[in-house]
């Protein structure tokens, strides 16, 4: 009988999105409305040569006996009974709720192997949820984004650990998120109004896909286009111009801004288009900050370059301003181009592909710890209250964006400036230039603490 895995969790945590991601097709309806899934769905999955039967269940929620919700959840419990293992999915942005805790107790009573997965781990807002999830008692949570496919390889490793030998056809060391089901590279073109985003989209496509003109704010809905570049399928999205909140008054423009922000969240790489006449104004910086918070890769496109007289001086000044105003984006590529004439546009996509590659880059634990020892010898951690902070080891928790976990017996005492020292070292030594980096510090339990208490 096939190895059967059921996805369980409360409503609206992303179970159907994960089901679609693992099956590689839009088999389940996805919507923000809780309770869309009623009957369980099932599909045969062969992911990284791990073969299993996957069940997508309805969200487990509080119900009244006898009504439709009660009958739906009886089906969910039946699916859980049929499963050999469970993926317990929680929402990283919302954190662990009391309902999640109740579900954890219920699923534990099922007596099945449980893989705890924290969804929506693209943004910094998910870090609290990840920390809370680790306390549920199911071991180290797997950080994923069902929408973007982030962490699918790590989830596969966790399933392999509980799967029977006959279901496994590949060494887990060969698993990499870059092998996840093929999909177009998603790129969002964003920036302030009238920076030339739509003109750039049309130039890349080689046709008039988006309306252009001298008036600011022509684009309202996000304009999506499919495109082939270098034999690779690309999903390009031209977003509405983002203005400061104080200037966004009409309901229609508010919806356009929301649509643009959602496009940034859904993208893998964001092209930030700026005007060289007014570069890196407050709104440009806020957009760059949003992209960093969401953990996307970025390339800065300086448009209207044909109108610039002293090009060399301006380009040098722009790079200096990025390092000063956006230290979290140190080394981000700046491509000078003219969407109107086409000059320099051929340099944009190679920069995008390179940043996407860096965003997906993984470094072995051995190399990371050799580097860590060098960094510790070069600059020792501080000694608050006269006690030197000890950093044990470092691992790369995931990619997209590159996320690293440091283990220390004094996790809460590591100052921010030392963390930045390590992040900058990662950028310089391994080439993680121009992409967001996440650094988590995990506490290492003292094995003698319990014996001292006794």
Domain ranges for the chain = 4-179, 185-359, 365-453
- pLDDT at 421 > cutoff 90: yes
Q: Pull the structure tokens for residue 39.
A: 């009957």
Question: Per-residue pLDDT tens for 294-340?
Answer: 889 999 999 999 999 999 999 999 999 998 999 889 899 999 999 99
Mean pLDDT calculated for residue range 27-41: 45
**What's the average model confidence in pLDDT over 396-413?**
83
State whether residue 310 is helix, strand or coil.
Answer: coil
Tokens linked to 377: 């010898």
Q: What is the CATH number of domain 185-359?
A: 3.40.50.300
Please give the class, per CATH, of domain 4-179: alpha beta
Q: What is the mean pLDDT of the chain?
A: 80
Percentage of residues in the chain having pLDDT higher than 70: 78
Instruction: Decide if pLDDT at 358 tops 60.
Output: yes
Q: Do domains 4-179 and 365-453 have the same CATH topology?
A: no
Identify the pLDDT of residue 256: 42
CATH number for the region 365-453 comes to 3.30.300.20
Residue 318 confidence (pLDDT): 93
Sequence-separated (6 or more) residues with CB below 8 Å from residue 398: 121, 143, 150, 151, 154, 177
Closest CA to 195 of 212, 170, 179: 212
How far is 270 from 299, CA to CA, in rounded Å? 6
Q: What is the pTM of this model?
A: 0.68
**CA 222 to CA 219: how far, in whole Å?**
7
Q: Which residues contact 296 (CB under 8 A, 6 or more apart)?
A: 122, 188, 264, 265, 267, 268, 269, 270, 359, 401, 436
DSSP 22: H
pLDDT at 393 over 60: yes
Beta carbons of 182 and 255 less than 8 angstroms apart: no
What is the rounded average pLDDT of the residues 371-377? Answer: 95
Element (H, E) at 449: helix 449-453
Beta strands in 232-336 (DSSP E): 232-238, 269-274, 297-302, 334-336
Q: Which of 123, 104, 115, 43 is closest to 79 using CA atoms?
A: 43
Q: Which long-range contacts (CB under 8 A, 24 or more apart) does 387-390 make?
A: 389/413, 389/414
pLDDT of residue 259: 59
Q: CA-CA distance, 166 to 26, in Å (whole number)?
A: 28
Q: Tell me: cis bond preceding 148? Omega within 30 of 0 counts.
A: no
């Amino acid at each position: 009988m096939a190895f059967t895995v059921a996805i369980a969790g409360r409503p609206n945590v992303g179970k159907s999105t994960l089901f679609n991601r693992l099956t590689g097709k839009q088999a389940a309806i996805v919507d923000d409305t809780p309770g869309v899934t009623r009957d369980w769905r099932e599909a045969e999955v062969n992911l990284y040569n791990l073969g299993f039967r996957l069940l997508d269940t309805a969200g487990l929620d509080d119900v009244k006996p006898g009504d439709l919700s009660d009958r739906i959840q009886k089906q969910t419990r039946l699916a859980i009974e049929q499963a050999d293992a469970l993926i317990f999915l929680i929402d990283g942005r919302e954190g662990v709720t009391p309902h999640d805790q109740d579900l954890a107790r219920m699923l534990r009573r099922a007596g099945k192997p449980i893989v705890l997965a924290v969804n929506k781990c693209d943004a910094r807002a998910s870090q609290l949820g990840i920390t809370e999830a680790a306390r549920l008692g199911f071991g180290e949570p797997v950080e994923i984004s069902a929408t973007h496919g982030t962490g699918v390889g790590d989830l596969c490793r966790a399933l392999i650990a509980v799967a029977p030998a006959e279901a496994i056809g590949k060494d887990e060391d060969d698993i990499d998120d870059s092998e996840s089901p093929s999909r177009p590279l998603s790129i969002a073109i964003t920036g302030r109004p009238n920076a030339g985003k739509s003109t750039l989209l049309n130039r890349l496509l080689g046709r008039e896909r988006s309306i252009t003109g001298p008036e600011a704010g022509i684009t309202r809905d996000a304009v999506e286009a499919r495109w082939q570049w270098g034999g690779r399928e690309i999903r390009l999205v031209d977003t509405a111009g983002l203005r400061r909140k104080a200037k966004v008054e009409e309901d229609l423009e508010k919806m356009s801004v929301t649509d643009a922000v959602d496009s940034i969240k859904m993208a893998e790489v964001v092209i930030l288009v700026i005007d060289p006449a007014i570069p890196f104004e407050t709104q440009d910086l806020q957009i760059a900050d949003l992209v960093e918070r969401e953990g996307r890769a970025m390339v800065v496109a300086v448009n209207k370059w044909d109108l610039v007289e002293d090009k060399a001086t301006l380009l040098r000044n722009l790079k200096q301003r990025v390092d000063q105003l956006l230290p979290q984006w140190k080394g981000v590529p700046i491509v000078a181009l003219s969407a109107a004439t086409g000059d320099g546009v051929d340099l944009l996509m190679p920069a995008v592909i390179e940043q996407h590659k860096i965003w997906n880059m993984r470094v072995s634990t051995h190399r990371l710890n050799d580097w860590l020892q060098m960094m510790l010898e070069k600059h020792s951690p501080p000694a608050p209250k006269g006690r030197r902070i000890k950093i044990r080891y470092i691992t790369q928790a995931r990619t997209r964006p590159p996320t690293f976990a440091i283990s220390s017996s004094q996790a809460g005492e590591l100052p921010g400036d030392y963390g930045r020292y390590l992040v900058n070292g990662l950028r310089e030594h391994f080439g993680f230039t121009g992409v967001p980096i996440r650094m988590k510090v995990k506490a290492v339990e003292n094995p003698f603490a319990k014996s001292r208490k006794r």
